[in-house]
Chain A
């Protein structure tokens, strides 16, 4: 214990001093890390505050009318968010209708039915798809997917289902449906990988019990796994919805960017995120810019609520993934 240097300082004092140093060091370090950790709160508040501050002109001028007005006319300075809210909801809904069955089915395939050697490569592929930037998918969407939809899929849909108002009217290619499809491609990886985590967290005892009753593989999956994981899977879907609502670049490139409320899915639409992306830099007047900030505020509100709901579902009901292993 006694070091040679301690001859100048009485022993207990040295210990006391080094204790003080240690305590301040600990306190400073803990304070610093705490500061950085709570910065996520600061960021959320900052995001909300800046959008609110940016939109106060529009908030004061239009009030609640903003949400229910169909007018979006920068020249006469009439701003209403309804066409964009409509576009965001419809495109996200289309995306969910396509992505949810496909993602959950492939998550089931990956965890329950696929042969072992096939699982890892498939998982890597799906993770790579998740890493494809939105703008690249948009580029592909504009030059490959949209022409294909215009020439092949849409005419077929129209002749088969043309009696529905959803599939009537002229076909341009860029459309609400194209936007929905591209969003579906973007959210499939996240729904698949979160669902996979949920299915993996189902205890093996569940499966074994079902097998012991003589169930086939699919019956085990349906009875023991899917019904057990139902709520967690719902959380995964809501998480996907959160991503779908905020998707920007790829949608902007294929949805047609026309603020209208049309019954036909072949008609161009516009979303909250894409109107910001397209018009923010061109907004010449303060009120115009303020209107776009308010659009952002609406988008933020919706995505925060949806994401919070998803996290709550995943944490309390799924009991998994975001929790560190071990």
Chain B
């Protein structure tokens, strides 16, 4: 009687273990499928031309995405100009002046802001930048990505600054160093690697954004020579090729997706390796 009950419980235990294992496999299956398909379909079109040539018009084979790659870099540069100072300083406030009830609300607002759909950011910047400037532009595209980075960087900066031991702050203050110099020269410098990690992760996240660029950067089949003109980016180019009816463009879309995903994965993995080292050192 008891042994039958025991067997049943053991059986249930094993069953749930395999059910949850199956679910874990299901979760990572799409990643494996997407990656393998990207490699098989995209690798053929990733060649020297892909990185150096402009897109070819319909009907001509070949061409590349050089302008989209440069465009992504330019947009991320503008985005950093907007997002990094605001995000980092905001994070400094949250971590270093964390006495007021205001901070709870700021954190809350940043987290809610993080959940605002990216397409909405696109509309907002369209109304805010594109309409007054009377045209789609690289500026608008960079600003929208930068705005999306602000809540991300604010939160990650706060978290790394919290890891700086309080003794550092106290030691500096005891030496008579002003608080603002303590923060800049001791606290922020100690956590600089962590802050950079947060910035890189937020860049990796916005690098893949398409929706907010649709009505801000718009896309451009040529080089962008002026930041007040439309510019293209890898995700935009992938999207417009993906919804086109031409096989050759589909191949280009796969190649672009492969390059973009490798770039993002590279940043993510690299950052994780860096931070793990740091963490292990500090716990030793």
Contact = CB atoms under 8 A, between A and B. Distances in A.
Contact of B119 (A37, A138, A144, A246): A246
A30 B180 contact: yes
Contacts of B208: 131-136
Contact of A44 (B31, B89, B112, B162): B112
Given A299-B117, A307-B112, A33 B92 contact: yes
Given A216-B9, A218-B13, A273 B205 contact: no
Contacts of A68: none
Interface in B214-246: 214-215, 218, 235, 238-239, 242-243
Interface stretch (A2-10, A77-85, A104-112, A260-268): A104-112
Contacts of B124: 46-47, 50-51
A179 interface: no
Contact of B151 (A38, A40, A50, A308): A40
B26 interface: yes
B154 A37 contact: yes
Contacts of A276: 119, 122-123
B155 A322 contact: yes
B115 A101 contact: no
A325 B163 contact: yes
A249 B90 contact: no
B111 A322 contact: yes
A65 interface: no
Contacts of B196: none
Interface string B144-156: 0001001100110
Contacts of B158: 324
A312 B110 CA distance: 13
Nearest to B205: A131
A303 B106 contact: no
Contacts of A129: 27-28, 30-31
Given A40-B109, A113-B20, A326-B162, A303 B115 contact: yes
Question: Max chain B CB contacts within 10 Å: which of A46, A135, A280?
Answer: A135
A248 B23 contact: no
A185 B204 CA distance: 19
A305 to B, nearest CB: 9
B86 A136 contact: no
Interface size class, chain B: 35 or more
B89 A36 contact: yes
B284 to A, nearest CB: 17
B10 interface: yes
A112 to B, nearest CB: 8
Contacts of B109: 40-41, 44
Nearest to B14: A218
A14 interface: no
Contact of A280 (B16, B123, B243): B123
A109 B16 CA distance: 9
10 contacts: A36-B85, A40-B150, A103-B27, A129-B27, A135-B210, A140-B34, A192-B27, A281-B218, A293-B123, A304-B115
Given A36-B89, A50-B124, A136-B260, 20 more contacts: A33-B97, A36-B93, A37-B89, A40-B150, A41-B105, A109-B21, A126-B27, A131-B268, A133-B235, A135-B257, A139-B238, A140-B37, A192-B27, A248-B118, A248-B119, A248-B211, A300-B116, A307-B116, A322-B155, A325-B159
Interface of A: 22, 25-26, 28-30, 32-41, 43-44, 46-47, 50-51, 53-54, 101-103, 105-106, 108-110, 113-114, 122, 124-129, 131-140, 142-144, 185, 188-189, 192, 216-219, 221, 239, 242-243, 245-249, 253, 273, 276-277, 280-281, 292-293, 296, 299-300, 303-304, 306-308, 310-311, 315, 322, 324-326
Interface of B: 9-10, 12-13, 16-17, 19-21, 23-24, 26-28, 30-31, 33-34, 37-38, 41, 85-87, 89-97, 102-103, 105-124, 126-128, 147, 150-151, 154-155, 158-159, 162-163, 178-181, 183-184, 204-205, 207-211, 214-215, 218, 235, 238-239, 242-243, 250, 253-254, 257, 260-261, 264-265, 268-269, 272
